[in-house]
Amino acid sequence: MRVALAQIDVEGAAVDANVERAVAAIREAADEGADLVCLPELFNVGFFAFDAYQRAAEPLEGPSLSAVRDAAAEEGVALLAGSVVEDLAETEGGPDEEGLANTSVLFDEDGQRLLAYRKHHLFGYESAESQLLTPGERVPTAELGEFTAAVTTCYDLRFPELYRELVERGVDLLLVPSAWPYPRVEHWTLLPQARAVENLAYVAAVNGSGDFEDAELVGRSTVYDPWGNAVASTGDQPSIVYADLDPERVATVREEFPALDDRRH
């Protein structure tokens, strides 16, 4: 499977322009042979544009997700639609509650929804995210090609128990849309790598690029293999990162180094 991490420039509150950039990145990645394109966290509104969350909120059938889903389906590629601010009350068949959530959606190459993941761990430290949004409760998985995939989001990286739960459920590909800012560059490079090493799984961590009023994203979208090797990465400017993933690589590493079998509960 060829994965493309679309590290697009995300402008705060510029929903239409951000979606246009996302669609362009999807089409470019498809032209380069990608099977799966991944967009960053809150790719349409920008994580730090807190004042715009309410007016940018949409159901899972809303305009931003529909635009990127349709573009990916036209190109015949699977898509991780990073995340959007979801209006829970408006989502058809969604959770029976009101409020907003930070929600990522994984679509197959035909545009069918495989899973919707609502961010579990909302950023604290007096961040507006934890004040404005509702945390998710479900941790879904999906079959994607020859992989069993799951999605977690940004701050989730600091909570390893979430990833161990997923691996116990057979996950071998972890997709992590993010909006990780300076100055915590070392944490951004350390934590996805650690999640790959301890779980002997691929981790594809896609970040955005761009400046906000009081934050700048570090970029550095990276794919880590099951040994924790960075097999593809980039800097902090807009770009697309490509990596070819081999499901047999996960099985081989887990057989050669069966650390998961040595756990004591």
Active site positions, annotated? 41, 119, 154
Cα separation, 93 vs 60, in Å, equals 10
Residue at 177 is within a domain: yes
Cα separation, 5 vs 107, in Å, equals 15
> pLDDT tens digits for 53-90?
999 999 999 999 999 999 999 999 999 999 999 999 99
Residue at 265 is within a domain: no
pLDDT of residue 31: 98
Task: Provide the number of structural domains found in the chain.
Answer: 1
DSSP classification of residue 262: G
pLDDT of residue 15: 98
Residue at 167 is within a domain: yes
CATH of the domain at 61: 3.60.110.10
Cα separation, 151 vs 105, in Å, equals 9
Cα separation, 215 vs 239, in Å, equals 19
Residue at 68 is within a domain: yes
Cα separation, 52 vs 54, in Å, equals 6
Residue at 264 is within a domain: no
The domain of 243 spans: 2-259
Residue at 204 is within a domain: yes
| Three-class SS state of 142 | strand
Asked whether 22 and 63 are in contact (CB, 8 A), the reply is no
Sheet strands (E) in the chain: 2-7, 36-38, 78-87, 100-107, 113-118, 141-144, 147-151, 173-177, 202-206, 222-224, 230-233, 239-244
* pLDDT-flagged residues of the chain (< 50): none
Residue at 73 is within a domain: yes
Residue at 7 is within a domain: yes
Cα separation, 90 vs 69, in Å, equals 18
Asked whether 50 and 129 are in contact (CB, 8 A), the reply is yes
Cα separation, 102 vs 105, in Å, equals 10
